[in-house]
Structure 1
Amino acid sequence: MRAWTAVAIAVVAALTGAGVAVTAATLANSTAEPEAYGLNEIARNGNVQGILYPGDPATEAALVQQEDERIVYTRRVASAAYWTLSVDGPYRFRTGDSWTIVLPGRELPYTVDDLRSLAPDTLVQNPDGSYLLRENVAVMQGATLSLNSVEVRLESTAAGFTSIVAFGGHLDLAGTRKAPTTVTSWDSVTDSPDEDTADGRAYLRAIGGSIRLSHADISSLGFWGGSTGGLAITGNDEADDTTLASSMEPTDDPLPVPAGAPVVDATAVFETTPPEDVEGMQTAASAGTSAAPREDLADLGLSTATILDSEITGNAFGIFVSSAENVTIERTVVTDSLVDGITLHRSVSSSRIADSQSSRNAVDGISLGRSTVGIRVDTVTVAENGRNGVSMDGQSLADGPSASGTAVESFGDNSVVGSTIDANGRYGMEITGGGDIDVSDNRFTANPDGLVVDRGADAVSITGNQFLEQTAAAVAIRDDVTDATVQDNTIRGGDTGIHVRNAAADVSANTLSDVTNHAVTLLGDVEGTAVAGNELGGTGQTALWSDSGFGAVIGENDLDSWRPAITPASVVGFVFQPLTVVWLLLALLLVGTALTRKDGQYGKIRDPYAERVPLTSLTRGVVSMDGSQGASVR
């Protein structure tokens, strides 16, 4: 008897323990975080951080540095040439082992015909009507380069690559629906677009200038860095290092001189005016002591861009924006980028991305970096990106004293509304820090986690969204988020509906259905969190898990649609009620007693009434009616 009782107790303990273990493991998995926050790697614990970059980090980083040097050198030569040589009109000069043609400011735009007359050897028309450009082009302040309804192929081979850069100037790539403007890299050896970034790749860029794209197809441009990423719009926020000029000075190796525009000897320019004196000239000019030249690049300021009805495919960074304002991206499709699709990196303000798509990019579909403010993402589709659909980082640029003395303020006033965020590799959307953020009327479908808000974000409003079939959590609010509002959202499917950990959130008026674990989970210090007025439906373990959280105010929630799931824990909980345990133990006692008899009848079937003799076996049972009283039985 004691042996059977011990077995029963052991089974109860084992099954109950297993149920608890399942609950703890499920909670741990639903709130797991990556161990690494890199933009382009797989974390040690397997969380997706994006598809690995296919190029060569060592060679490409060196080429980015080389391009930075060439940009600085070009700016200095352009400024010094005007002051010392009084150059008026287009010219070219040697930058290392390549040529750069300079287009100074003028009222009329430069066209393909102008470039053909200025560079007949380096802008060649192909039999199919396209143009192959084999020389760098610098569009200076006050100048516009218009490439309208033409196909331009930028030479990009193992021997070198070309670029078109607006130094305060304007790039206008305007086509039509039937005749778009096309710009791509081109490897003349393979007679195809350049898909290898290891040796660099052609790119477009505006520095303190502007770019306008309309009905343009941009493809297979850029490598490694944002500034050389393919289509870059950046402000004039780079410090000029005067030591860089010498690294671009011509070597003794002969380089054929192209026909067309005259050649300026950069060495002679700097012999007349040392590079370190150019900045002083620019400063004096901007102060009004002398007429400022059109090539004066002392203060180009912020860039701007308008990108409409265009397609950007296969760039390193689809569209990269930094130090810019009033950037508009509408009705544009960005796909298959090697890093991010659309990146607003630093100091971008008052800009809008609308009616556009950013999909199948290796890392993020849309990335809003630190110090981006006043950004509205409206009616976009971000799908099947390697990491997040949308990443929004509003953290401060510094968290204390720093060498640059940067302020510790955070950033925000950004919004994502009316958009579709589907099947991204890690999160549908991640909001890291910042404040005054609006996420409303969006649809999240089939992401591992729908929306994650963390690292001290404040005043985040999450309202009117649909979260359909996320794998883990639909909404996760965690890690010192101080004021989040999660209201009027519809959540269907997934392991967890709304997860709050070490954060404060108002969770109200949400409708949840078909959740398979918990509708709402509260973990850690959740003081300031209120959960009320929600309709919690599903078939999970419990609708609202708060055993591991403290400080929350839990009001009335509608649990009519919640059905406990059949799990080992629920079976144990149902079967092993106190009274049920008593009856089970009694049954075990009876069975044990029956199986351990000592009369040798073990295992035999016998008549339970064998020891009872019926009356009919002793007499016929007939009694006379007349002699019934006192009569004996015959």
Structure 2
Amino acid sequence: MSGRQSGAKQPVVIGIAFGLFVGILASVVVVRVSLLGEHAADTMAASTAAAETVAAGRAYPGDSRAEAALVEAESERLSYVRRVSASAVGDATVATPPYRVRTGTTYTLVLTPREQPYSAPELAALAPGTFQRDPDGFFLLSENIVVLGGATLALAPEEGSVGLDIRLASDTDFFVSIVTSGGSLVVDGTETAPVSLSSWSRSTGAPDTQTTDGRAYVRVIGGRASVSHADVSDLGFWSGNTGGLALTGTDEAATFDGLLDPAPDSVSAAATATGAPVLPPGPLVVPGSPTPDALVTAGLDNLRVSGNAFGVFIANAHGVLLRDSSISDSLVDGVVFHRAVENSSIVRTESRDNGVDGFRAARSSTDVAFTAVTATGNGRDGLALDGRPLAAGPSATGTAVVDYGDSTIARGEFSHNGRYGIAVSGGSDLSIRTNEVAANLGGIVVDGDASDVTISDNRLTDQVRQSIAIRDGVRAASVVDNSIAGGDTAVYVRNAGATVERNTVSRVSNHGVTLVGDAGDVTVTANVVAGFGSIPIFTEDSEGGTVAHNDTADWHPAITVATVVNAVFQPLTIVWILLALVVVGTALATRASRSTATIRHPYADRVPISAFTRGFVSRESMK
């Protein structure tokens, strides 16, 4: 009897054990999913930090050591020419005709001061051996040119021609440049007859695309530049000063080592068979200032630049205007305001497919405006503006510790750049408004202790990470009236002060607004936040901050495996599931037990006695 009772209890025990096992397994699943969600968040944060650190644009293809040495040699050559010129043009009342200076293995044609500009035909007369017209119609320049203060080099097409094409020799062991040293450069093309300036490799019969051995370039030092309807391509190497088309102020001093060596006979013969004599070396007069003191000024319009090391490089300049132009495929940056650029503007200009930044304004540039510009497909940022001080404290040069700013970015388009659409580091009184920013890693990013930054009326679409990020010491930022769609997070504020008001957010996949760290000076009000994610306004990782009167009615939690599991495995739900599993497990176990038992008669243990005998028998059968 006891054996039958234990056999009856066995299915129940099996069912209970099965139910407990399933319950424990379900709890483990819930915990594991939760941990995976936290790990995914940590992974996303780590990948964002890695992207910010690693994204430095496309690598420069040249030879850093060789090209840096060539930059230094060019600086020495130009400084030597200026000192020779100070000796030759000592008396300003006496006109000095153009002359040549022997500089190492090359010659430099020096255009001296005069009222009338030097033209392309006059260059051909001054240098018939080194400025020659090719049968294909272009001019090949195989000699350096320096334009002194008081002189102007004017390059314009002949009347009735289709343009002026000047190619600067750029071979494996030799390249030339056109440099003004306080003088002026005028490139005056027209819509139907542009002026073209490019490098030319005589060995390959094609533009020089290799920078390892240096490359021809054009530079304006001090003075003024006026360039209109010009095509500039495949110029420059390594530095901004030698980067292609450079407009700069002062230059570096040099030692002149090796510049007094005689030139090879072939170069000497080509140079001296001209109307301009070679200035014999002699005692040099050291001028009071070996470099021009004046800032460069420039007007550039309808300019097409492609394939330069730096598209257009501008430093120590005042009143520069670049408009209606296109810069593309630069090895480094498209357009650079390097240092001490003031009161300058870029208008209706496109900068695309450059190695690093489309537009860049470096430290100590102030009162610059970018209006209706387009930056797309650049290796790092569409537009990078750095307004931080040149020094954080006492320095060797005694530089003032001041922020730079008063700059505006308006009505621009910034899309498909490798890192940010617009990046601002430091500075004050900055305005970023009415721009279209789309499909970058980050949209508008402000950091580096910037202050009084207004970000308003911009439309941001489908950034990978944050559409607007305010972080790391920024003060008094205003993020108002922006339209933000798509991306991970619309507005991200970390350890900064900002007012986030009246923004319209839609289609974001994580948070509408995220506050991290010290948010004591952050106000988030009157925003309309819609999307699919965990929390519309995330403040759990912040301290302080005011969040009020935001419309999150159209915010919907994202439907993911984690949310489904969390919704199902609530405490009471788990209890009911366990009870159901006990019942189902018991039934299954009982059924399994019955299916394996032998079929028996229900009264097998209660049979009649007749079943144990043969019944009645006759006497005869017993005999």
Instruction: Please give the range of the TM-score, normalised by the shorter of the 2 chains.
Output: 0.7 to 0.9
Secondary structure of the 2:108 match is strand
Aligned letter for 2:79? V
Q: 3-state DSSP class of the match of 2:34?
A: helix
Residue 514 (structure 1) shift: 0.9
| 2:272 maps to which of 241, 258, 267 | 258
**Contact 2:18-2:585 at 8 Å conserved across structures:** no
Which one-letter code corresponds to 2:99 in the other structure?
A: Y
**Counterpart contact for 2:99–2:279, Cα < 8 Å:** no
Q: CA deviation at 1:402?
A: 1.4
- CA RMSD in angstroms comes to 2.3
1:240 pairs with 2:240: no
Paired residues of 1:30 and 1:496 also in contact (CA < 8 A): no
State the Cα distance separating 1:52 from its structure 2 match.
1.0
Query: Distance between the aligned counterparts of 1:492 and 1:50, measured in 2?
Result: 26
Aligned equivalents of 1:341, 1:558: Cα separation in 2: 42
The aligned residue for residue 67 of structure 2 is 60
The answer on 1:25 being equivalent to 2:32 is no
User: How far is 1:412 from its partner?
Assistant: 1.2
Shift of the 603–373 alpha-carbon distance from structure 1 to 2, 3 Å rule, reads farther
Report how far residue 252 of structure 1 moved. Answer: 6.9
Distance 1:267-1:246 versus aligned 2 partners, 3 A rule: farther
Q: Deviations over 1:273-293 (max 9, x none)?
A: 4xxx513xx36xxxxxxxxxx
The answer for the alignment partner of 2:87 in structure 1 is 80
Query: How far has the Cα of 1:389 moved from its partner?
Result: 0.4
Question: Is the 2:75–2:252 Cα contact (8 Å) retained in structure 1?
Answer: no
Q: Classify the secondary structure of the residue corresponding to 1:278.
A: coil
CA displacement at 1:34 relative to structure 2? 5.1
Q: Deviation digits for residues 290-331 of structure 1, max 9, x if unmatched?
A: xxxxxxx65432101111011011100000001101010000
Tell me if structure 2 keeps the 8 A contact 1:454–1:481.
yes
Cα drift, residue 426 of structure 1: 1.0
One-letter identity of the residue aligned with 1:342 = V
Distance 1:188 1:8 in 2: 81
Q: Alignment length, in residue pairs? A: 574
2:518 equivalent in structure 1: 525
Residues 32, 486 of structure 1: alpha-carbon distance in 2 compared, 3 angstrom cutoff: farther
In structure 2, the CA distance between the partners of 1:543 and 1:603, relative to structure 1 (3 Å rule), is: farther
Inter-partner Cα distance in structure 1 for 2:68 and 2:238: 7
Mark the CA change 1:414 to 1:455 in structure 2 (over 3 Å): closer, same or farther. same
Q: Secondary structure at the match of 2:577?
A: helix
The separation in 1 between residues aligned to 2:105 and 2:56, in whole angstroms, is: 38
Aligned-partner SS, 2:245: strand
Partner of 2:212 in structure 1?
Answer: 198
Shift of 1:31: 7.1
1:224 aligns with 2:232: no
Query: 3-state SS of the aligned residue for 1:310?
Result: strand
Give the aligned residue type for 1:124.
Q
1:476 Cα deviation from its structure 2 partner: 1.3
Which of 105, 112, 123 pairs up with 1:104? Answer: 112
1:568: how far off? Answer: 2.5
- For residues 225 and 34 of structure 1, the distance between their equivalents in structure 2, rounded to whole angstroms, comes to 29
Query: Which residue is equivalent to 1:12?
Result: 27
Tell me the equivalent position of 1:503.
Answer: 496
Measured after TM superposition, the shift of residue 10 of structure 1 is 4.5
The answer (yes or no) to whether the contact 1:19–1:568 under 8 Å persists in 2 is: no
Checking the alignment, whether the CA contact within 8 Å between 1:596 and 1:602 is kept in structure 2 is no
Higher-Rg structure is 2
- 2:405 aligns to what? 412
1:20 to partner: Cα distance: 4.9
TM-score for both structures, normalised by structure 2: 0.88
**Contact 1:418 1:442 (C-alpha < 8 Å) held by counterparts:** yes
Structure 1: state its 5+ residue gaps.
38-42, 284-296, 605-609, 611-634
Give the Cα separation in 2 of the matches to 1:384 and 1:356.
15
CA distance in 2: counterparts of 1:182 and 1:548, whole angstroms: 57
Q: Output the CA distance in 1 between the equivalents of 2:469 and 2:263.
A: 62
3-state secondary structure, aligned to 1:570:
helix
1:278 corresponds in structure 2 to 286
1:149-176 C-alpha deviation (Å, 9 max, x unpaired): 2111111111211101011111000100
Task: Determine helix, strand or coil for the equivalent of 2:66.
Answer: helix
Long gaps (5+) in structure 2: 1-15, 158-163, 603-623
Deviations 1:70-114 (A, max 9, x none): 111111111112239977111111111111111111111110111
Per the alignment, residue 539 of structure 2 pairs with 546
1:158-208 CA deviation, whole Å, 9 max, x = no partner? Answer: 121110101111100010000001110111111111111111111110111
Report how far residue 15 of structure 1 moved.
Answer: 2.5
**Identity of counterpart residues, as a percentage?**
41
Cα distance in 2, alignment partners of residues 597 and 90 from structure 1: 113
Distance across 2 between alignment mates of 1:499 and 1:6: 44
Matches within 5 A, 1:280-429: 282=288, 299-429=292-422
Q: How far off its partner does 1:143 sit?
A: 0.8
2:122 aligns with one of 100, 108, 114: 114
Offset of residue 262 of structure 1: 3.4
